Structures are given as C-alpha cells and as structure tokens.
Amino acid sequence: MGRSILNLPESSTGDKLVKIHYHKYNVRHGVSNSATGILWRTAAFTTTTSNATFIVTGQLWGRHSASDHCGIYCQLIDNNNNNVVSGAADLDGARYRGIGYAGVNTEQSWAKFLLQWHQVYTGINAGTYKILIGWSQRNNAAGRPFTDYNINNTDDGRSQQHDSTCEIWELQSSQGLTNQSLSISTW
C-alpha cells in the first residue's frame, strides 16, 4: 500500500511532506565487543510539526561477521538521549523491529554486511530528536554485529570509503484517511 504525500492539492486528505532530514557519516570505526553498544547517532534535527509522523530509513556498511543479529535496534531519542516512544526500549520492544542486516558470513577482509532500518513513528510532538543505531543482547554476553563499520581501503585495498546514511521524512498528519482507515485490497 502506498502513501501519496507529494504535490497534493490543498483540499487533499493525504499526509503532507513537511521536510526531509538527511544525515550522512563517513568515518571508519571499530566496534567494541560488549553486550551493548552504539554504532551511530545522527545529528540532532528539529521539527515544528505537532503530531508528526516520521518515516525513517537508513543504512550502514560493516565488515567481518561477529555475533550475527545480536539485538540490533533503531531508536528515536530526544536531545537528552532519552527514549521518545513508550515501551520501544523494552526487551522485545519496537526498536528491534524493522532493522536487519545481511552479508557474507565470514571473517575475510572483503566480507561486507549491509545493516538497514525502516521505522515509522506516529504522534511525535514538535521538538529536537536524533536516531540511534545500536545493539543490546538479551543474554548480556559480549558480542557485536560486526567488527568495523564505514569501511574503507584500510580494510580491503580495493575498497573506497563507505557511508552511513539516514533519512527522516517528516509528515504532517491529515484530517482524512489514516493508515488504520484504509481498506486492504488484492489485485
């Protein structure tokens, strides 16, 4: 099911795109071997839209298999690094959904993993926020998703510098149709 948000007439009942917040980071980092950790935190972005919807997508390149899917998450935090969405940080909370990675499961220098996330946050108040990408293992044992990220030619001489990117689409909710009131049809 798609969502029309661009070039809508003023009388439209669809959500309206207010702004796209874009973040890019391209510094190579090693990843610590611990039960929890932060891979990347975007720069702060500010919304003036009340009751906004955020559609968040992003990706981060890593290398060397380590602990596989060790509780990786994508989380919306406020400017004080506090969780914005109630219950999202629970043991099996929403921050663990809509994120995953795939790649070559080996410890060779050329082995790459693409970590990708897609989250939708609704009813967000005007304010300043960040997106946090990290991991938190259920069993509190040491682990990590991969050994390095934003890889470059120091990892593999044939490689160029890789980037982490994150887009936050800020939507102003309509007074008409919502995701809940749309009917599902088959074709």
pLDDT digits (tens, 9 = 90+) for 71-130: 899 999 999 999 999 888 888 899 999 999 888 877 777 788 899 999 999 999 999 999
Say what the pLDDT of residue 124 is. 95
Closest CA to 161 of 38, 64, 25: 25
Where are the chain's structural domains? 16-172
Say what the pLDDT of residue 185 is. 43
Long-range contacts at 11-17 (CB < 8 A, ≥ 24 apart): 12/174, 12/176, 13/174, 13/175, 13/176, 13/177, 14/174, 14/176, 14/177, 15/53, 15/171, 15/172, 15/173, 15/174, 16/171, 16/172, 16/174, 17/169, 17/170, 17/171
**Secondary element (H or E) of residue 186:** none
184 — pLDDT class (breaks 50, 70, 90): very low
Q: Do residues 176 and 167 lie in contact, with contact meaning Cβ atoms separated by under 8 Å? A: no
What CATH number matches the domain at 16-172, 2.60.120.1340, 2.60.120.10, 3.40.50.620, 3.90.1150.10? 2.60.120.1340
CA–centroid distance for 120 within its chain: 10
Say what the pLDDT of residue 183 is. 45
Measured distance CA(168)–CA(20) in Å, rounded? 6
25 — pLDDT class (breaks 50, 70, 90): very high
User: In this predicted model, what pLDDT tens digit does every residue of 135-174 receive, in sequence order?
Assistant: 998 888 899 988 899 988 888 888 889 999 999 999 997 7
pLDDT of 53 higher than 60: yes
Say what the pLDDT of residue 177 is. 46
Say what the pLDDT of residue 186 is. 47
Measured distance CA(105)–CA(20) in Å, rounded? 34
Measured distance CA(90)–CA(96) in Å, rounded? 9
Measured distance CA(6)–CA(170) in Å, rounded? 12
Q: What 3-state DSSP class applies to 68?
A: coil
pTM for the predicted model, two decimal places: 0.82
Measured distance CA(114)–CA(59) in Å, rounded? 7
Q: What 3-state DSSP class applies to 126?
A: coil
The average pLDDT across 49-65 equals: 92
Q: Do residues 152 and 159 lie in contact, with contact meaning Cβ atoms separated by under 8 Å? A: yes
